[in-house]
Amino acid sequence: MRCAALAALIGATLLAGPLKAEVIELFPSECDASPALEDLVGHYRLSVFPGTLTDGVRSVAASHQSSHPVSFVLMGEDLILQDATGGPAVNFRYVSPDEPDWRGDDGEVSTQELAEIAGCDVNRLPRLIGLGTTMADGGQISFTYRLMVWNMTPERAALIGGMEWSGGGVTVTRRVMMEAQ
């Protein structure tokens, strides 16, 4: 019962705001069990939530939210995120055991709350890291996505985590969620 209540809290928190997103029931993936990359291939809705913009001196809230279609495709052994709106492609891979622990608490949902729902440390959930770059306004922007495979059933797939982009002396961090369509 407690897990269901926390899952509802996270679902409501992640989907709060002006986004017109359908609330899904989140079931944590099995700890220490990573689905095959082929199982993640498909069409998703990527929701990007408010975050923080920093320039090394000060931080301000980045309140803009968005939601748009993306796809995971497999090219050889690489899982590639393709943005239907023309954004940069991002290469994903499973995190190796030497990847530092993912920790964070943006005031909405902490990694401790996620661990309580999952029944294990969030670093034991299947974790993907995605890296990419693009050019904007004459400068390079680097992207890093850190996603946990949160819900993997034959009917549904959901990934939750965060993304960070930096370039031109500015870094933006945001929460993200991907739901299979």
**CA nearest 79: which of 146, 17, 128?**
128
Count of CA atoms in the C-beta half-sphere (13 A) of 162? 17
Over residues 74-126, the pLDDT tens digits come to 999 889 999 988 888 899 999 876 777 777 666 666 778 878 887 888 888 88
Closest CA to 70 of 171, 166, 163: 163
Contact criterion met (CB below 8 Å) for 71 and 44: yes
- What does pTM read for this prediction? 0.78
Q: Tens digit of pLDDT for each residue in 45-87?
A: 999 998 899 998 999 998 889 999 999 999 998 899 999 888 8
Distance, in Å, from the CA atom of 170 to the CA atom of 165, rounded to the nearest integer, reads 8
Which structural domains are found in the chain, ordered by start? 30-99+124-180 (2.40.160)
Which residues lie closer than 8 Å to 1 by C-beta, 6 or more apart?
none
Give the C-alpha separation, 42 to 71, whole Å: 6
